[in-house]
Chain A
Amino acid sequence: SYELTQPPSVSVSPGQTASITCSGDKLGDKYACWYQQKPGQSPVLVIYLDSKRPSGIPERFSGSNSGNTATLTISGTQGMDEADYYCQAWDSSTVVFGGGTKLTVL
């Protein structure tokens, strides 16, 4: 079955750029989405179709997808961005999520 691999944790200083990767076989041939989940809350879509931002998502969130890796980039990271982030892609009519990355802003 298809797998998406994310680093368990990423740390970033406030104001700096955070990059969270998601790796999967030929992931660049599929569309990737990214979700943010804060403790006790439901997930929120922050990137779809590799690089598009839904309405209401700050411009500091961006995405890319090429080869075997999709990347979520948060520029000028703020304390409120501290959360778990999950990538997602479709493969053979099934949805696959990455294991999640805990972003710590310190």
Chain B
Amino acid sequence: EVQLVESGGGLVQPGGSLRLSCAASGFTFSSYDMHWVRQATGKGLEWVSAIGTAGDTYYPGSVKGRFTISRENAKNSLYLQMNSLRAEDTAMYYCARDWSMGLWGQGTLVTVSS
């Protein structure tokens, strides 16, 4: 089955770190660009990062320098290392496949609170 499964979310204190994972299955992971997108409760979608098939990375200003996207093709896995977390980073985090985001995972919830 073609799917993406996120994990690694949880409760973290402001200033803390968290690493999210996204396990891909059912397709050739190495052939696709990948994204992380987040959504705060009751709010809209916000793009967080992207990584190309060659390992090139892209970020919006809101997370640049704090978040790092990476991939491990041998493990069919995508990662998001989040440092210096803030309350406003609290959201459901989704991974999505390719430039059109044609496949999404179910999300993993990150809560930043003391």
A94 and B60 contact, CB distance less than 8 A: yes
Interface residue? A95 (CB, 8 A): yes
Known: A54-B102, A93-B58, A95-B35. 20 other contacts (CB 8 A): A1-B61, A35-B101, A37-B45, A42-B104, A42-B106, A42-B107, A43-B37, A43-B94, A86-B44, A86-B45, A94-B58, A94-B60, A95-B50, A95-B58, A95-B60, A96-B47, A97-B44, A98-B44, A99-B44, A100-B45
Residues of B within 8 A of A (CB): 35, 37, 44-47, 50, 58-61, 94, 96, 99-102, 104-107
Q: List 13 A-B contacts (CB under 8 A).
A: A35-B45, A42-B105, A42-B107, A43-B45, A43-B94, A43-B104, A48-B100, A48-B102, A49-B100, A86-B44, A94-B59, A95-B47, A95-B58
A48 to B35, CA, bound (A): 16
Which residues of the partner chain A approach B102 to less than 8 Å between Cβ atoms?
45, 48, 54
CB closest chain-B residue, reference A98: B44
Which residues of the partner chain A approach B61 to less than 8 Å between Cβ atoms?
1
Residues of A within 8 A of B (CB): 1, 33, 35, 37, 42-45, 48-49, 54, 86, 88, 90, 93-100
A10 to B92, CA, bound (A): 25
A18 to B43, CA, bound (A): 22
A100 and B105 contact, CB distance less than 8 A: no
Central interface residue in A43, A49, A98, A99, by most chain B CB within 10 Å:
A43
